[in-house]
A and B are shown apart, each in its own frame.
Chain A
C-alpha cells in the first residue's frame, strides 16, 4: 500500500521568511496530493491540492510542486505570517481500480511556528 513520509516534523521561521515542507510517496499510481492545515484544537482543512497531470499550482502565498519521477511533492509558503502557525499534513491518493474509490494516506505532519 501507499506510504507517505513528511519532513521536517517541526519548522521554525521568522515572519516574512519562506517555509518549505516536503513529502515523498511510494505508490507510483498515486495521482492526487492534497495539503491540509490544522490549527491547534481544530479540524484539518484543505488549503491546496494538486493532481498528477500538473507540476505546480499556486494560490496567493502558497504553492505546491510535484515531481512524479522522484515521487515527491512540496508545500511552499512565502511571506509567512504568525497566523500560518499550525500543523500541516500532506496526503497521497490513488483511485482503486477494484473498489472504484479514493483513499487518502496522510504524512505524519509538520508543526510550523512563525515568530513575529
Chain B
C-alpha cells in the first residue's frame, strides 16, 4: 500500500496563477483533510471531507476550493495564487468511527512558493 500520496512535490507559481494539488489514499478511509504548515504556526486545517460527497471549511479556507472526486481522491485548488499562500501543504486521511478516534495518516507534502 502506498498510503497517502500527493502531487506535485514542489511547485512555483506567479501571483494570480491557478493550480490544483492532488491527493489520493489507498487505505479505504472515509475522511480526508487538507492542511497548510507555516513556520511557527503548526498545522492548520483548510478543508476537510468527512465522507465521500461532503466537504466543509476548516480554520483557514479563504482562497481555496476542494473537490472530493471519489472515496480515494481529494483535491485542493488555488484559483488565484497569492504570496500569502506560500506554504507546505499536507493531505491526510483517517477512518472515523464514532466513538473511536482514529489516526490521521499524512501524505509527503507539497512545497508551494508563490512569487
Contacts and interface: CB of A to CB of B under 8 A. Distances in A.
A115 interface: no
Contacts of A105: 45, 59
Interface string B54-98: 001011000000000000000000000000000000100000101
A99 interface: yes
B34 interface: no
B96 A89 contact: no
Interface stretch (A11-19, A69-77, A106-114): A106-114
Interface string B16-49: 0000000000000001000000001111110010
Contacts of A107: 42
A101 B42 contact: no
Contacts, number: 55
B42 A109 contact: yes
Interface of B: 31, 40-45, 48, 50, 56, 58-59, 90, 96, 98-99, 101, 103-104, 106-109
A108 B40 contact: yes
A51 B42 contact: no
Contact of B107 (A9, A34, A43, A103): A43
Chain B at the A interface: SS class = loop
B19 to A, nearest CB: 21
B29 to A, nearest CB: 13
Interface in A57-116: 89, 93, 95, 99-109
Contacts of A102: 96, 101
B89 to A, nearest CB: 11
Contacts of B31: 101
Contact of A99 (B45, B56, B90, B109): B56
Nearest to B51: A101
